[in-house]
């Protein structure tokens, strides 16, 4: 039995540990899953917001360049004489407001550079460059892709304007920006390491990027141009960059009025790195908690095992004590019956023998009730009193009507024997002296609770009654008086269409439990 109890307790504790670990694992997994989703949403939101900033900045660059080129064209005048002093002054004024890193050029149709703000300028032929050849072929305004400067090897991008008078091509006005123009913008966005911002042309050519690309780059075959831009002018997607092979979340927006697309790319490694650092911090808190729960569960297992052994020991002891009590009360009851048999063998008057036997029977009933019901601390009053009165009625062969009105209380075992003898004497007197040979003879017994520890016992018959003052005082009267004293009570006889015995006694009872 002990091993079964211990095994049952261990299984319950192990099940608790497993369930707890599963619950915690589910919670942690759910939190991590939600965290990944939230991190992804935050990254997308950051990329979209940054793309908006790049779009605005790109639009400003285009507008500044376009206005400067228009002013340069206007400053050249109708005759387009850039070597004239006043013309050159007007050109310089037209360039006011450009970023300090911007460089301006005016190149004749034959490729000769007539004017430049580039202090490190070297006279080279640039007619093969798209920013010259495209305007020369008739396009009014042109934005170049990423270029490598032939002057200093730096990465640049340009805006150029066709110069013509009366339909005749005179040359090209050019404004050049270094890709480092994006450095300050990138720093202000605070996208974190591994991120990038870019400007692309609608044909897929890279215009500018930070961090700088290795060189010119054609992206026309990538997802942005093959799938996304044909469907929407702005959005967000995740892709591995063809510029450096880094996976990023990319926000994109077309720049209104231009053929440019602004991109802001947030590195997923950095973003998820921050997330996983948070997860590690969280796990550093939760794992010790889980370990503490596991240790607590082990401790609970040991307590359950110890309590299981103690329970089995107590259960065994209780079983032994119950068996011993049952055996004791059974032997006492048998001894009472033996004494009854000895009394019957004595040469005594029959009424005396009957009285003695009934007294022994009353005491034997107490012990019989105890071992039959395993009620060693207290006896159930209704069943106990019913058993006593049934024995008396059988002994006298009485056919009188019997009524019992017993409150559902229990009587302590110390008070059970005095109560049994008291009821035995009073009921015996009634059966012997109340003319119960009559057809209308009645006997009623009630036990009503008065307080937490007292009750009123009333035994009434409808016999002729007797004079308590002149009645002889025999053994029965002395027993009644002695039993009432043991019950710490008082008693009295009254006569109202019969004899009424009433006693207020202490029974040490408690309310009986409902079956």
Query: Are residues 174 and 159 in contact, defined by beta-carbon separation less than 8 angstroms?
Result: yes
* Digitized pLDDT (tens) for each residue of the chain, 515 residues in all: 545 655 665 666 677 677 776 776 777 677 666 756 676 788 888 889 999 999 999 999 999 899 889 888 888 877 665 666 566 667 777 777 778 788 888 888 888 888 888 888 888 888 899 999 999 999 999 999 999 988 888 999 999 999 998 888 989 999 999 999 899 899 998 887 788 999 999 999 999 999 999 889 999 999 899 999 999 999 999 888 888 888 888 999 999 999 999 999 987 766 656 655 666 676 677 677 777 777 776 777 777 777 767 777 777 665 555 554 455 545 555 555 555 565 555 666 666 656 666 666 666 666 565 555 544 557 778 888 888 888 888 877 778 888 999 998 888 878 888 888 888 888 888 887 765 666 778 889 999 998 878 899 999 888 776 665 555 567 778 888 888 898 889 998 888 778 889 999 988 765 544 44
One domain, residues 192 and 77: yes
103 DSSP β-pair partners? 176
Question: Number of folded domains in the chain?
Answer: 2
CA 309 and chain centroid, separation: 34
In a domain, 135, yes or no: yes
CATH number, position 300: 3.30.450.20
One domain, residues 120 and 251: yes
One domain, residues 297 and 351: no
Show which of 257, 290, 309 is a domain's final residue: 309
One domain, residues 165 and 270: yes
In a domain, 231, yes or no: yes
Is residue 482 classed as helix, strand or coil in its secondary structure?
helix
One domain, residues 11 and 97: yes
Residue located via tokens 């062969």: 397
Residues 6+ apart with CB under 8 A from 30: none
In a domain, 334, yes or no: no
Which residue, 48, 411, 75, 439, is CA-closest to 250?
48
448 DSSP β-pair partners? 456
Domain that holds residue 371: 346-511
Tokens of 466: 């007797």
Query: Are residues 250 and 242 in contact, defined by beta-carbon separation less than 8 angstroms?
Result: no
One domain, residues 187 and 282: yes
Neighbours of 445 (CB within 10 A): 22
One domain, residues 397 and 303: no
One domain, residues 394 and 253: no
Tokens of 221: 């075959």
In a domain, 321, yes or no: no
Handedness of CA 242, 248, 249, 255 (dihedral sign): negative
Gap between the Cα atoms of 305 and 8, Å rounded:
9
In a domain, 331, yes or no: no
Angle 122-123-124 from CA coordinates, rounded to 5°: 105
In order of 116, 136, 159, 203, the CA distances from 175 in angstroms are 10, 16, 5, 21
One domain, residues 134 and 79: yes
In a domain, 61, yes or no: yes
One domain, residues 182 and 249: yes
Show which of 287, 309, 331 is a domain's final residue: 309
E-assigned strands of 80-144?
103-108, 113-116, 141-143
Residue 514: its pLDDT value, please?
Answer: 47
Residue located via tokens 């920006």: 177
One domain, residues 288 and 386: no
Show which of 284, 309, 334 is a domain's final residue: 309
Angle 387-389-392 from CA coordinates, rounded to 5°: 115
In a domain, 323, yes or no: no
Tokens of 291: 């370990």
- Helix, strand, coil percentages, rounded to 5, for the chain: 50, 25, 25
Gap between the Cα atoms of 202 and 137, Å rounded:
20
Question: Does pTM surpass 0.75?
Answer: no
Q: Identify the H or E element spanning 252.
A: strand 247-254
In a domain, 459, yes or no: yes
One domain, residues 273 and 395: no
């Amino acid at each position: 039995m002990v091993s079964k109890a211990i095994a049952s307790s261990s299984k319950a504790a192990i099940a608790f540990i497993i369930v707890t670990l599963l619950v915690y694992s589910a919670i942690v997994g759910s939190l991590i899953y939600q965290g990944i989703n939230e991190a992804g949403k935050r990254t997308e939101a950051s990329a979209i917001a940054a793309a908006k900033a790049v779009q605005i900045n790109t639009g400003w660059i285009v507008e500044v360049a376009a206005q400067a080129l228009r002013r340069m064209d206007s400053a050249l005048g109708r005759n387009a004489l850039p070597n004239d002093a006043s013309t050159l002054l007007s050109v310089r004024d037209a360039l006011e407001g450009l970023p300090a890193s911007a460089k301006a050029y005016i190149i004749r149709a034959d490729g000769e550079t007539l004017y430049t703000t580039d202090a490190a300028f070297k006279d080279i032929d640039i007619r093969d460059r798209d920013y010259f050849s495209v305007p020369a072929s008739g396009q009014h305004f042109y934005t170049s892709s990423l270029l490598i400067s032939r002057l200093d090897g730096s990465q640049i991008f340009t805006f150029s304007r066709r110069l013509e008078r009366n339909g005749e091509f005179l040359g090209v006005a050019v404004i050049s920006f270094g890709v480092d123009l994006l450095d300050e913008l990138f720093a202000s966005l605070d996208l974190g390491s591994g991120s990038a911002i870019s400007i692309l042309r609608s044909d897929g050519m890279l215009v500018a990027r930070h961090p700088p690309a290795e060189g010119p780059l054609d992206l026309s075959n990538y997802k942005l141009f093959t799938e996304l831009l044909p469907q929407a002018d702005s959005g967000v997607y995740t892709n591995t960059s063809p510029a450096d092979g880094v996976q990023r979340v990319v926000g994109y927006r077309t720049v209104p009025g231009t053929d440019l697309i602004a991109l802001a790319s947030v590195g997923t490694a950095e973003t998820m790195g921050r997330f996983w650092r948070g997860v590690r911090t969280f796990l550093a808190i939760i794992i010790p908690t889980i370990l503490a729960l596991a240790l607590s569960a082990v401790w609970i297992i040991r307590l359950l095992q110890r309590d299981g052994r103690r329970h089995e020991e107590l259960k065994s002891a209780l079983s032994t004590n119950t068996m011993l009590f049952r055996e004791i009360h059974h032997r006492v009851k048998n001894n009472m019956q033996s004494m009854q048999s000895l009394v019957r063998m004595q040469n005594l008057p029959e009424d005396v023998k009957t009285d003695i036997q009934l007294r022994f029977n009353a005491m034997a009933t107490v012990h019989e009730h105890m071992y039959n019901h395993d009620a060693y601390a207290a006896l159930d009053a209704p069943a106990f009193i019913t058993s006593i009165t049934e024995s008396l009625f059988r002994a006298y062969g009485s056919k009188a009507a019997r009524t019992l009105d017993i409150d559902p209380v229990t009587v302590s075992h110390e008070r059970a024997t005095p109560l049994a003898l008291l009821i035995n004497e009073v009921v015996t007197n009634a059966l012997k002296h109340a003319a119960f040979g009559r057809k209308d003879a009645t006997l009623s017994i009630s036990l009503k609770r008065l307080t937490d520890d007292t009750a009123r016992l009333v035994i009434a018959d409808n016999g002729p009654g007797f004079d308590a003052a002149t009645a002889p005082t025999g053994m029965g009267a002395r027993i009644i008086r002695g039993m009432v004293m043991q019950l710490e009570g008082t008693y009295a006889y009254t006569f109202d269409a019969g004899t009424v015995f009433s006693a207020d006694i202490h029974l040490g009872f408690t309310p009986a439990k409902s079956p």
